[in-house]
Amino acid sequence: MAAENLAAVISSLTPDEQESVQQFIDFLKGTRSPRSSPFLAAVDEFIDQHPELLRRLAQ
């Protein structure tokens, strides 16, 4: 698929669908978007704040 065709397809998506495409691209690149979901940010924060609890749960 040519880049122009792909850009046209993406521009026809809803804003939510476009955000999903961006997150998927970031995932494929192995990077994190600064626009990551609030849920993922909360999970990362929980993991950072409670490593001992998670270690015990893993036993």
CA dist list (Å): 44 to 23, 39, 47, 51, 56: 16, 9, 5, 11, 18
pLDDT at 25 over 80: yes
pLDDT of residue 32: 61
Q: Kindly report the pTM of this predicted structure.
A: 0.47
pLDDT at 22 over 90: no
CA distance between the termini of the chain: 48
Query: What does the block give as tokens for 51?
Result: 């490593």
Mean pLDDT estimate for the chain? 83
Identify the band that residue 12 occupies on the pLDDT scale cut at 50, 70 and 90. Answer: very high
The amino acid sitting at 34 is P
pLDDT of residue 7: 86
pLDDT of residue 36: 64
